[in-house]
Structure 1
Amino acid sequence: MGAEAGAGGAGDAGAAGAGGDDGAALVPELRPISAERVDQLTVPDGFSVSVFAQNLGMARMLATYGDFVYVTRPTPGDVLRLEDTNGDGVADSRVTVAADLPLVHGIAFLDSDVYLVTENVVYRGTVDDDGNFSELTPIIDDLPDGGLHPLRTIGIGPDERLYVAVGSNCDACVQNDSEQATILRAPLDGATRTIFASGLRNTLGFDWHPDTGELWGMDNGTDSLANAPDELNHIEEGNAYGWPYCFGDRLVDPQVPNPPGTTKLAYCAMTTPPVLETEPHSVPTALVFYTGDSFPEDYRGDAFATLHGSTDRVPPSGFEVIRIRFEDGQPVAIEPFVSGFVIEQGQAQFGRPTGLTVASDGALLFSDDANGAIYRVTYAP
């Protein structure tokens, strides 16, 4: 799933940052959660981080429906409903609401309907007053096979259509299926679908700006290019974003052949470049705009994104939650929001931020699929 972001080089795949010859670990070793470690996480003044739920296994994508919080688990293939029934900031109710769904990952709600996506299938069901799901019905059953990227995400746009992110099936290659490395769009019944945007290697995290309704997403750069940034893209209908021929600001990937009938340089000149970049191989996994009312006013309309963390880089990149500042509907800066999961001089870590959702009380929740936890970020002036 990986990719990395940061300052791009001169267009060639370099080795900078992909070391390890000095004995440093390419993959920081996992350490367990402890109260002391959580207390050492770094957040802006006035914010605090606590553990909302633990022992969840492969906790991936999050979604909120009323006071309920849902988490998908591709392995074992189920969806859990969590609830904090006594208001102490910790989930004390845990119910399995969907099962037997291998690689279930994306989840979205519209009114009383829930949509889930696995590698090949989009399901629809209804949600009752207790937060339970009805029997799920497949509405799309032929999404492309995933290969390297079998985990899909799903969202519902302001136009009340489904948007499904389908990653590439490889790190750097020309795809045989035009629906791979895209975001697809379909009506709510899934009866038809079109390619909304292409050239997106693996845009797991995407969301619509609450004021402009415009779609923004973070794409994972090519693993085998040491200097390929992860990208924040303004995703518009019909646009091509460059992969596999280009990375970063229209830089040419030397690993793949020319597109049919043209050169990579000419093709890349016609693609849409990223608006902002993150450090290479930081692996953006979820993105959500803040729509709550418990954070300071200047956070509304900003986005948060999880950076799952590198597996092939020294020093490691990612392993944090970032804030993407927006002004007048446009992103202007990326800055750390929750950091400190990498410890022991980069040799270890105790969390890989994964899913994101804004809870009904305005808290920001993010999951960690390494230690099987969900964290809760709150603000108190």
Structure 2
Amino acid sequence: MKNWIKSGFVVAGMAAVMVGCSKDDDFWDWMIPETDDNPTTSQVSGFVYRPAVAPATDANVQQLRVPQGFRVNKFAENLGKPRIITASPEGHVYATDREAGLVMLLQDTNGDGMSDRRETVANIRQAHGLTIHEGKLYIVSVKELYSAAIRPDGTLEQPQMLIDDLPDGGQHPNRTIGFGPDGKLYISVGSTCNSCPEPNPEHATMLQANADGSDRKIFARGLRNTIGFGWHPQTREFWGMDHGMDWLGDNEQKEELNKIVEGATYGWPYIYDDGKYNPVDRPQGDTTYQQYRDLSTMPTLLYQEAHAAPMAMTFYNGTTFPGQYQESAFIAMRGSWNRSSPVGYKVVRLIFENGQPTRFEDFLTGFLVDNNRSHFARLVGVTVNNDGSLLVSDDTNGVIYRVAYQP
């Protein structure tokens, strides 16, 4: 087995002419003109580095790192490829396996911090996103949305289809869903590509609908792939982590934290980070980069490592973590492949102060081993269980990890 694969390439010559520049020239100004009247030139070094896969052995799990007072254990293992997870107030934990097309029910019935119950409660092709609302489990696949009443034992009534015409998947088929404080359902629909104008206006958006799937509309656009999102428990403001574009270099594009507001546009595919121009795609028609930037809402924060790949995000709503965690959100960083050295492969904490996000800090790390040549988890789902612990899913080795505060 190859331990790692590394390849480098240079993307150059988006036009026939390369122009010179002085050391004081701004790269993003002189290389990318506002219109097609002048050539566009850019040179980008791109890499592929995929760490080898290691097993989730006891030794590997024991070396995982969390803040003082916290402990990590396997909540469940041998689960196939668990993706998005959610938990009910009764401690019923649901997990999707997109590849197998099913929803699993897990439960810790004896309070030892490990699941001792597992059963399949729904079979839905490419099931991915999950959320619980008013006694029902909502499940979204690529093009379909279902709801199913939850029985007292955690099993489900027959799922009922609410929507059957969500946009095609393309590069980002992993729909996620959540209910806002307004009782509306929000559906994240990623782009079909890394960077391109989308013919379907519902791609690269956040959609809003009623709980029964009716009155669907575009809530916000220009979001490349906002898998993780949620509402601050006090301010009720809507926050989401958007995936940056690939093939712009090791440190471009950084992952974005956006405050998602109805009617706003967030720049993709033409504007990224704090207003930079994407050299690959120019706004269509007579619109210039500057005009599109003026129409776009800039991110509130940029995550410091490009290509870390933010996945699920949840605000902590338990009672067992120390008080400073009550305003925090936790984000699963799946891990990079499109840079010369790996980043991500961890859970980070998004810290809020006075209701506003201020910074990111590492919370659960150590999934990269062997001097970053191997990994034993690519994280996807994150949720808070009814005992106040944080659950995190890995679809590489089929494990759900549990982080509890046990000083």
Equivalent-residue separation in structure 2 for 1:19 and 1:192 (angstroms): 43
Cα 1:161/1:14, change in 2 over 3 Å: farther
Q: 2:340 matched to 1:317?
A: no
CA RMSD in angstroms comes to: 1.4
How many angstroms does 1:15 deviate by?
Answer: 4.2
What is the CA distance between 1:260 and its match in structure 2?
A: 2.8
Summarize the Cα distance change of 1:178–1:81 in structure 2 as closer, same or farther, 3 Å threshold: same
Aligned-pair CA distance for 1:113:
1.3
Matching of residue 82 in structure 1 with residue 138 in structure 2: no
| Equivalent AA in structure 2 for residue 235 of structure 1 | I
Whether contact under 8 Å (1:50, 1:377) holds in the other structure is yes
Match of 1:23 in 2: none
Larger Rg belongs to: 2
- Equivalent residue number for residue 389 of structure 2: 363
Counterpart of 2:324 in structure 1 is: 298
Other structure's SS at 1:266 match: helix
Match of 1:248 in 2: 273
Shift of 1:116: 0.6
Tell me the SS of whatever aligns to 1:108: strand
Q: Which moved more, 1:83-92 or 1:257-266?
A: 257-266
TM-score by length of 1: 0.94
Kindly tell me: are residues 14 and 361 of structure 1, through their superposed partners in 2, closer, same or farther at Cα, counting changes over 3 Å? farther
Query: Unaligned stretches of 5+ in structure 1?
Result: 1-8, 21-25
| Contact 1:14 1:225 (C-alpha < 8 Å) held by counterparts | no
Residue of structure 1 equivalent to 2:22? none
Query: TM-score scaled by structure 2?
Result: 0.88
Match for residue 332 of structure 1?
358
Distance 1:129 1:334, change over 3 A: same
Q: By how many angstroms is 1:258 displaced? A: 2.1
Deviation at 1:313, TM superposition (A): 1.5
Q: Distance in 2 between matches of 1:335 and 1:308?
A: 16
Match of 1:193 among 216, 229, 232: 216
How far off its partner does 1:162 sit? 0.6
Partner amino acid, structure 2, of 1:356: V
In 2, Cα distance between equivalents of 1:154 and 1:363: 22
| 1:173 aligned partner, one-letter code | C
Q: How many residues align?
A: 366
| Partner residue, 2:17 | none
Tell me the equivalent position of 1:40: 63
Q: Name the residue aligned to 1:136.
A: 159
Q: State the AA in 2 paired with 1:255.
A: V
Alpha-carbon offset, residue 314 of structure 1: 2.0
- 1:264-302 Cα shifts (integer Å, max 9, x gaps): 222113211111112111000110000111000000011
CA distance in 2, matches of 1:261, 1:192: 33
Greater RCO between the two (CA within 8 Å, min separation 6)? 1
The answer to whether the 8 Å contact 2:188/2:227 transfers is yes
Q: Aligned equivalents of 2:72 and 2:301: distance in 1?
A: 27
Is 2:247–2:338's contact at 8 Å kept on the other side of the alignment?
Answer: no
Give the 3-state SS of the residue equivalent to 1:265 in structure 2.
helix
CA displacement 1:276-335 (0-9 Å, x = unmatched): 112111000110000111000000011000000011222101100000000111100101
